[in-house]
Amino acid sequence: MKRILNPAALILLAGLPLYAGQINFVYPPDGSSIPSVPKTFVFGNISPATAAFTINGEKIQVYTNGGFIAYLPVAPGDFAFIGTLDDGTTAQRAVKVRQPADAGPSTGTLKLEFTSYAADAEVAPEDYLKITAAGSPSREAVCSLDGVFEDLQMTEVPQGSGRYYTSYRIKDADQGSGGALSARFKAGLFARGASAKAKGKIKVLKRPALVETSTDTVILKNATDGGYMMFLPKGVKLVSSGRTNGQRRIALSNDELGWVDDSKVQPVSGAQYPFGYGSETGSIRLKKTDFGSSATVTLYDRLPYTAEVFPWGLRVTLYYANQHTNTVVYDSADTLVKNVSFRQASYNKVELDFETEPGALWGYNISYPGSSKALQVDLRSRPRASLAWPRPLSGITVVLDPGHSPYFKCDNNSRLPLRDARYSSMPASARCSLDGAVGPMETFEVNVNLAIALKLKAKLVELGASVQMTRNGEENVELNDRPKLARDLGGDLFLSIHNNAIGDGEDPYAQPRGFSIYHYQRPSRALAAAIQRAYLKNIPLPDEGLRYGDYLVARMTWMPAALIENAYMIIPRQEEMLNTPAFQEELAGSIAEGVLEFFEVPARTYSARKGQK
């Protein structure tokens, strides 16, 4: 028997949704901690995409596929983004917003604590100790360092802030002294006081210490929080003249200093620093190789070095070195290195110039092979592409690096495959981090990177190139291994494929966001610029510019390298574009077009981007 609803019931049902709406917060992760910022972004997706949507009462624009990104105010402490659809569906995403540093006056019990020297430090004569503490405001504070000074007056800056500061210049007479650092508020006979001790102790060195690098790829910076100066292998000797906050100060010459992570060096066993430490340079021998030329520089200890590419060749600068080279032996079969010149640039610093024809140097590598103390400088000549259509890139090997790995990296050193977990449902308490970016529709960057790279591989192979991949699927390839892998795979060119995101607290609408191309080494700039020009011509997204970028995979010296940020995963429209095979083809074709220009392939009636004759 068929049941018939009355007209009044039909009218009531017509006003109800066919199913309950859904709100899916993707980022930030539930329970995550974000910086102390007044506003931050949140993104995810809703269904149906046409529903009116608010977060914390603010109307949110939703993209046609349901994805959204919003930039909203937050408050310190436990905070929740509460989303609401017009059918009454609600969902929330809880985060912890870090408290801002307390710069206001304190009340109640007197307090005083150091905000400097949380770890042991070593200083030398002429160094300045900069001592800071925080506590109750409007007091008279003094500090003392065992064996060096007592009750040194501290100044409250600004007045009433509770922040106290002083400095002291280490004297020659202080050598060998030092110990605990303490501070106190001065008080009258019946007044209350407060005192504090620094966690770290301060030692005044009698002489610099000789240390050596204890692992490969040790980085020296020009300041504790500065830029990179050197990348050194294991066993290189360094002169340490101070230590603070887990960083050692390295005296390279009379006027050049560097900083190295204290955990990356160790004392030279049984050695005291001899004044005038260093090594003489001996003979230099060159030899033709399959890749170009190799030079062996005789040294009597492993010395620190820097290298810089110039249009005329390569300059290697040796520190703690005295020029005493009497012999340079050339290989008559070597056509890359035309001349070697050398000079004592300053006290303890020698410059070696390996001169080539303009533009002939393709890359280089510097090492101390095996247990040798002799420096090996490998110089690479420009590879030869056929330049003949239809396969003008024949003779060239391109290494493609689809950025990141398809795993969550968890605190217990385990890896969780992305396919086995849903990002939006994984709480911060799981202590697993994503390698790469994610979009509002939960698209993983790592998968899009691979899709673009595979399409690029097909185009480059069609153009005659041999193409190698750092990963072909779900392999876990550590970031540090990728440059070495690229060399082992015989690469002439390295292209790292990525898609972008922004940091917590940044405004996604503050500027146009689109593509950007990065380089690091001088020979790589022309490659990045050629790809940039192809993107400007072909890709319908904002141009964020050709950029110098201090990224590990872009710092390669053996071959030109570029890192490509194609689009923004976190912007709903761009995420949708990146998931479209046609747009992936556009990106791959534009990169191939840039590679053709970089190798100066003669033009013909051909579109590498569309693959049409």
In this predicted structure, the answer to whether residue 9 has a pLDDT above a threshold of 80 is no
**Is the same domain home to 92 and 217?**
no
Find out whether 558 and 364 touch, Cβ atoms under 8 Å. yes
HSE-CB of 400 using CA atoms within 13 angstroms: 28
From 160, 183, 204, the end of a domain falls on: 204
> What CATH number did the domain enclosing 232 receive?
2.30.30.40
How are strands ordered across the β-sheet holding 67-73?
Answer: 22-27, 39-47, 67-73
Is cis: bond before 73, omega within 30 of 0?
Answer: no
Residue 269 has pLDDT above 60, yes or no: yes
User: How many Å apart are CA 72 and CA 56, to the nearest integer?
Assistant: 9
Q: Based on the fold, state whether residues 532 and 407 are members of the same structural domain.
A: yes
Domain match, 287 and 432 both: no
HSE value, Cβ hemisphere, 13 Å, CA-based, for 281: 30
On whether residue 19 sits in a domain, the answer given is no
Q: What is the pLDDT of residue 605?
A: 54
- Mean of pLDDT values over 202-228: 91
Span 87-122, pLDDT tens digits: 999 999 999 999 875 444 334 467 888 888 989 999
Q: By the 8 A CB rule, do 116 and 183 touch?
A: no
Question: Measured between alpha carbons, how far is residue 424 from residues 408, 480, 488, 499 in Å?
Answer: 13, 28, 38, 19
The secondary structure of 345-385 as a DSSP string is EETTEEEEEEE-STT-EEEEEEE--TT--SEEEEEEEPP--
Mean residue pLDDT of the chain comes to 90
With beta carbons less than 8 A apart as the criterion, state whether 283 and 208 touch. Answer: no
Between these two residues, 3 and 417, which has the higher pLDDT value? 417
| Residue 299 pLDDT | 95
- Show which of 227, 242, 267 is a domain's final residue: 267
Neighbours of 187 (CB within 10 A): 13
Residues 136 and 216 grouped into a single domain: no
Here the CATH number for the domain that contains residue 288 is: 2.60.40.3500
Q: Are residues 566 and 456 part of one domain?
A: yes
- pLDDT value, residue 573: 98
Asked whether residue 283 falls in the same domain as residue 352, the answer is yes
Binned at pLDDT 50, 70 and 90, residue 222 comes out as very high
Band (254; pLDDT cuts 50, 70, 90): confident
d(CA 570, CA 8): 46
CB 588, CB 534: distance < 8 Å: no
Q: What is the pLDDT of residues 432-488, one digit of tens each?
A: 889 999 999 999 999 999 999 999 999 999 999 999 999 998 888 888 899 999 999
pLDDT by residue (tens digit) across 590-600?
999 999 999 99
Give the chain's domain count. Answer: 5
Q: Does residue 105 fall inside a structural domain? A: no
The amino acid occupying position 320 is Y
Task: For residue 609, tell me if it sits in a domain.
Answer: no
C-beta separation of 398 from 460 below 8 A: yes
Kindly state the percentage of the chain with pLDDT values over 90: 77
pLDDT at 394 over 80: yes
Give the separation between CA 405 and CA 553, rounded to whole angstroms: 14
Domain stop point among 63, 97, 131: 97
Q: Could you please report the per-residue DSSP string of 500-530?
A: E---TT--TTSS---EEEEE-SHHHHHHHHH
Residue 608 has pLDDT above 80, yes or no: no
Which residue in this structure is represented by tokens 């010296």? 557
Give the whole-angstrom CA distance, residue 592 versus residue 602.
14
Query: Are 191 and 214 members of one domain?
Result: no
Is residue 103 in some structural domain? no
- In angstroms, the Cα distances linking 349 to 173, 280, 303, 319 are 30, 10, 10, 5
Among 15-24, 77-86, 225-234, 366-375, the least confident range: 15-24
If you average pLDDT over residues 26-41, what whole number do you get? 94
Q: What's the alpha-carbon Rg for the chain, to the nearest Å?
A: 31
In this structure, the answer to whether residues 239 and 311 fall within a common structural domain is no
Query: What pLDDT is recorded for position 1?
Result: 43
CATH number for the domain spanning 485: value is 3.40.630.40
Looking at the domain assignment, is residue 391 inside a domain?
Answer: no
Q: Which of 530, 400, 404 is nearest to 466 (CA)?
A: 400
| pLDDT (0 to 100) of residue 401 | 97
How do residues 550-559 score in pLDDT, each as one tens digit?
899 999 999 9
Per-residue pLDDT, 610:
53
Find the domain containing 93 and state its range.
Answer: 29-97
- Is residue 1 situated within a structural domain? no
pLDDT in tens, 282-311: 999 999 999 999 999 999 999 999 999 999
Q: Do the domain assignments include residue 603?
A: no
The single-letter DSSP state of residue 473 is S
360 and 324: one domain? yes
Task: Note whether 86 and 146 are same-domain residues.
Answer: no
CATH of the domain at 148: 2.60.40.10
Q: Is the pLDDT of residue 564 over 70?
A: yes
Q: Do residue 190 and residue 216 come from a single domain?
A: no
pLDDT digits (tens, 9 = 90+) for 135-178: 999 999 999 999 999 999 999 999 999 999 999 999 999 999 99
Q: Are residues 456 and 573 in the same domain?
A: yes
Smallest Cα–Cα separation from 419: which of 474, 460, 464? 474
Q: For residue 309, is it within any domain?
A: yes
**Distance in angstroms (rounded) separating the CA atoms of residues 348 and 250:** 14
